[in-house]
Amino acid sequence: MAAANQTCIFCQIVNDPNSTTRLLHTDEKVVAFQDIKPAARRHYLVIPKEHIPTARDLQRRDEDYSLVSHMLSVGQELLLKDAPQTIHRFGFHLPPFNSVDHLHLHCFALPFMPRWKVIKYKSLGPFGCFIEAEKLLEKIRPLPSKV
């Protein structure tokens, strides 16, 4: 497990028992909370407790795939509970477009507010900036072992 980064605001949320951030979910792997600058009707962040800088630091390993799958599952559960009648979207910013160097899944109940925010969370294929969670899972899915 990577050591907490003392200057990372998300590590502080995870590790400070006096944090004023209201956690929507917490378990042994992740915590979830509302984005401080919501870009949609509902906008939650799911972050690992372990400090992982960005989605580019993930590899084709069982533990990385399991973590991202779990993050997505938590985000889906939160939005199904809080905004069941809306369209949901999930994804990660890629460097240099991420605002915090701590892996975080954006969980949206659409529409974006204001509408122009859709640009900030648009997948631009190989030009990167935002990658859908399912697409990231495809990229880091472990290869079948050769027996």
Q: What is the pTM of this model?
A: 0.93
**Cα–Cα distance, 95 to 81 (Å, whole number):** 31
pLDDT at 120: 85
pLDDT bracket for residue 2 (50, 70, 90): low
Stretch 91-106: mean pLDDT, rounded? 93
Summarize pLDDT for 43-71 with one digit per residue, the tens. Answer: 999 999 999 999 999 999 999 999 999 99
Start-end of H helices in 16-132: 62-82
Of these residues, 93, 102, 104, 106, which one is catalytic?
106
Instruction: Indicate if the pLDDT at residue 1 is higher than 60.
Output: no
Select the more confidently predicted residue: 44 or 117.
Answer: 44
Active site residue 70: no
Tell me if 45 sits within 8 A of 105, measured CB to CB. Answer: yes
Angle at 63 between CA 14 and CA 56, to 5 degrees: 75
Stretch 14-34: mean pLDDT, rounded? 96
